[in-house]
Amino acid sequence: MKGRYQLQVLNGPKSGSPAVLTVTGDNWELDSGATLDDVTHRPCRSGRYSGGLPSAANPKDFPVTHGAVMPAVPGCSCVDYAVLFIVGLEKEQADL
């Protein structure tokens, strides 16, 4: 969703400080020199698998450690997701 979101920096030297994520259509940018890893809640990861069968997944491949690629599952494609903690919205968005 287009807008500006205040995120909590969870990792790195700026941990505890805020960063602003600006989303404009398909593009996004973090300010203050923050990286996606800085604002990602590392223990919470997910992948959305499509196609194939869940039974084709190897249970030993899960949970996935931080930084690792989501495991391949035969016959499936996967989109990797990370969790961000949004702690504020711009006033205009908050009024929607």
In tens, the pLDDT along 9-21 reads 988 888 888 899 9
| pLDDT score, position 81 | 85
pLDDT in tens, 19-60: 999 999 899 999 988 998 899 888 787 889 999 998 999 999
| pLDDT score, position 32 | 86
pLDDT in tens, 48-93: 999 999 899 999 998 888 778 889 999 999 998 888 888 998 776 5
- Contact in structure between 43 and 67 (CB atoms under 8 Å): no
pTM: 0.67
Q: Which helix (H) or strand (E) holds 89?
A: strand 86-89
- 51 Rama sector, left if φ>0, alpha if ψ -120 to 50, beta otherwise: left
Q: Given the structure tokens 């400080």, which residue do they identify? A: 17
Helix (H, G, I), strand (E, B) or coil at 43: strand
Say whether pLDDT at 94 is over 60: no
